Amino acid sequence: MLMEDDDPTPIYAQKLHEMLLEFSIITQRFWKHNTKDLTFGQGPGCSSVGEGAFVEHGPFKPKGDGLLKNDYSWNKAGDNLVFLEKWFHKYPQYKNRDFYITGESYAGHYVPQLATLIVHSKAKINLKGIAIGNPLLDFENDFNSRGEYLWSHGLISDDTYDMCNNVCNHSTLRRQSNSDAITPACSLVSTQASKEIGEFVNDYDVTLNVCLSDVFSQSQVLDPNPKIDVCVENETSIYLNRKDVQTALNARLVNVNEWEVCSSILEYAMSDMEEAMTPVLASLIKSGIRVFIYSGDQDSVLPLTGTRMVVNRLAKRLGLTTTLPYRAWINDNQVGGWAQVYGDSVLSYATIRGAAHEAPFTQPQRSIALFKCFLAGKPLPRAKDETDPNNH
């Protein structure tokens, strides 16, 4: 059933499919009926429905036996170019709207690739821009920034950081892990780092509490009314494995016994992770597509430090000058993060302060503020007493 914070009236599972259909078709009023957005979750092998729609920025979040309304929903649906063409054919009234693609994590690969397919195809899709959060863009650069991030946040010792730099770096470890052939040297580094970090730290948000097992009694340890439900992913798994919910979604299990957030059933060519995305992004920008890249700054898996380096190199490659210098942006009278803009707003980078790898999960208000500015093509708001350097 569905329960809103201010309305305890239950809406049962058999109504879920029609509510989700309504949310997938009708754009919320604050988008002013002029944009459509397609959002992807992380991966490889992870669910945009379970992780994105139910944990981060979908219309509902599981809670107990029911659903709670998400006041910071981004409200979107989609899958790939074939789906998009069929969807727009079925709903031609949306064809002329500005269209944007967003995603996070491994979407750093398939969002730019899908955008490229749209640009080079004859599809009548009015693509204007893409936004990708904590993205995998450059295999070596992105994964090797993890060691410095863990060390600078006090999660690993000086000795282990030295081992990360001189014995086995994180890109090497990830490459070996992908091929199931980890050397003794890399195994030693990985084991040592894992011991120091411990099991009660979330790699995707190093400051966030973890969801404890029933043995530890989560409700007794944490605030009974937390702003962030750290167990929402567990609750999502329970919810989506309910037979009545699967029936409402017209979903069925194929070759698996239960639904999982991330699955190894889907086979990916893991070597594709090493394909650099900067040439793809450069081509999109040259084609007039706006590119917005952002980082939740508490993510140690694909840290902001590595992403920011990739963005800076991309700007230099295209000869883009900085039009808005690196500065803090404001949300609700607090620092929402930091941002920099290149060229005529064709390339932007921003951090979301206090946000995880899945930024809308831990910072929904700041995330949707950034999302609105991206869609509107406007710079992120700054402090009222801050002058515009371009007006000097």
| Residues that are catalytic | 105, 299, 357
> 78: left (phi > 0), else alpha (psi -120 to 50), else beta?
left
Check: CB of residue 177 under 8 Å from CB of residue 189.
Answer: no
CA-based nearest residue to 50, from 197, 187, 232, 313 = 232
- Tokens representing 203 are 């790699």
Backbone angles phi, psi at 306, to 5 degrees: -70, -45
Q: For the residues of 161-186, what is the DSSP string, one character each?
A: HHHHHHT--HHHHHHHHHTT---HHH
Length of the chain as a residue count: 392
Could you give the 3-state DSSP secondary structure of residue 345? coil
Backbone angles phi, psi at 188, to 5 degrees: -60, -45
Q: How far is CA 63 from CA 2, 55, 229, 384, in A?
A: 9, 11, 9, 39
Query: For residue 231, what are the contacts with CB-CB under 8 A and spacing of at least 6?
Result: 211, 218
Structure-derived torsion over alpha carbons of residues 181, 184, 186, 189, reported in degrees to the nearest 10: 150
- Distance spanning both ends of the chain, measured CA to CA: 57
